[in-house]
Amino acid sequence: MSQWMIYGATGYTGTLVAEEAVRRGHKPLLAGRSAAKLRPLAERLGLEYAAVGLEDTHALEKAVGTVELVYHAAGPFIHTSAPMLKACLAAGAHYLDITGEVPVYQHAFSLDAAAREKGIAIIPGVGFDVIPSDSLIKYVADQLPDATHLDVAVDALALSEGADAGLSAGTVKSMIELLPTIGTLQRRNGQLVSQPMGAGLRKVRFPRGTKTVMPATWGDVEMGYHTAGIPNMNVYLSLPPAIMYTARVLSPLLNLLKINPVRKFASRMVERMLPGPSEHTRETGRSAVYASVRNAKGETREAWLETLEGYQFTMVAGVRVVEKVLDGSYKGALSPANAFGADFVMSIEGTTRWDTLPE
């Protein structure tokens, strides 16, 4: 019997994680809605599979009941996480996912008491969203326990020559679902507040150079609050300059995505047009994070981190997280950094951290 399940195994990231799991000697149960999609992947990797929809509560709980842990990789998680969390609680199986969606984090943390009662761990965001940034937040926050302000900037586009800045269909579909409803969130005095898209551009120095970054609803605006408890937070993302400088003009068009047929059409187009980053991009690309904290006295701490390209990081780190949870005694709803510590990210090959960048 398999110890763990990958749900959404035939998606871009799910397939990468399944391949990495096999390379590391695991035999996860591959799961998802479509037997027709699961069968060829299972045959190629020599694994078992289970076709079950999230809406079939009884069948889902039965399938989850055969494993100790579910690695949930099927987005948009705003729709898929709740039924899987319910199944994991009913079956007593650990829950991991790779979302960066703020509402999903909020729901996951609301289940802390239930998870502790069942003796399971609920740890969302165990991919590039948000292990590198969450780890760096904890690293700098631990150095200044009375910090009141936190700035985090993520550069996922430190690509090599010839690499494509591809996104998977699942990532963009999640963005389509969330952007029209929550906008750009930042944290003020412990509360989430929305601001116009494209406002507040600034320069941030990363290990490979200075870039312009834009405030963005990255998962850290919620997860970092659970990790460090800092009440004021700005989270920035490096994007192509043309996108950032036109974001304010185009942001009213996001209201169109509130119309259900428009949103569904956009998701179908994304499914057809975005195969995900190439192998060359994943293997040669890099990503970086900057984090700084300050307290009321004006004292500051800052640090930088560079690691693998985002999808490559998710693939490698995801299986390592599964191994830690299966070998550990984790309980309750936890952020990745509070579960595994600020230094877990350093165990992922190709990761470097600096307190001061070299000139």
pLDDT grade for 173, boundaries at 50, 70 and 90: very low
For the segment 115-142, the average pLDDT, to the nearest whole number, is 97
Q: pTM to 2 decimals? A: 0.87
- The pLDDT, as a whole number, for residue 279 is 85
- Of 280, 275, 348, nearest to 308 by C-alpha is 348
Q: Residue 338 class from Cβ within 10 Å (0-12 exposed, 13-18 middle, 19+ buried)? A: middle
CB within 8 Å of 275: residues ≥ 6 apart: 12, 166, 168, 169
Q: Is residue 184 scored above 90 in pLDDT?
A: no
| Start and end residues for every CATH 3.30.360.10 domain found in the chain | 131-309+347-354
pLDDT tens for each residue of 225-247: 999 999 999 999 887 665 555 55
Q: Determine contact, residues 70/46, Cβ cutoff 8 Å.
A: no
- The pLDDT, as a whole number, for residue 244 is 57
Give backbone dihedrals phi and psi of 262, rounded to 5 degrees, phi first: -65, -45
- The pLDDT, as a whole number, for residue 245 is 55
- Of 196, 192, 171, 229, nearest to 103 by C-alpha is 192
pLDDT tens for each residue of 58-68: 999 999 999 99
Locate 355 and state its tokens: 């307190």
In the chain, the percentage of residues whose pLDDT exceeds 70 is 82
Q: For 4-127+312-340, which CATH class?
A: alpha beta
| Start and end residues for every CATH 3.40.50.720 domain found in the chain | 4-127+312-340
Locate 114 and state its tokens: 């239930």
Parallel/antiparallel/unpaired status of strands 286-294 and 149-158: antiparallel
- The pLDDT, as a whole number, for residue 263 is 46
pLDDT grade for 169, boundaries at 50, 70 and 90: very low
Q: Spell out a b/e string for 184-223, using b for 16 or more CB atoms within 10 Å of the CB, else e.
A: bbbbeeeebeeeebbeeeeebebbeeebebbbbbbbbbbb
Assigned CATH topology for domain 131-309+347-354? Dihydrodipicolinate Reductase; domain 2 (3.30.360)
Residue 264: CB atoms within 10 Å: 12
Q: Residue 356 class from Cβ within 10 Å (0-12 exposed, 13-18 middle, 19+ buried)? A: exposed
Q: Is residue 22 scored above 60 in pLDDT?
A: yes
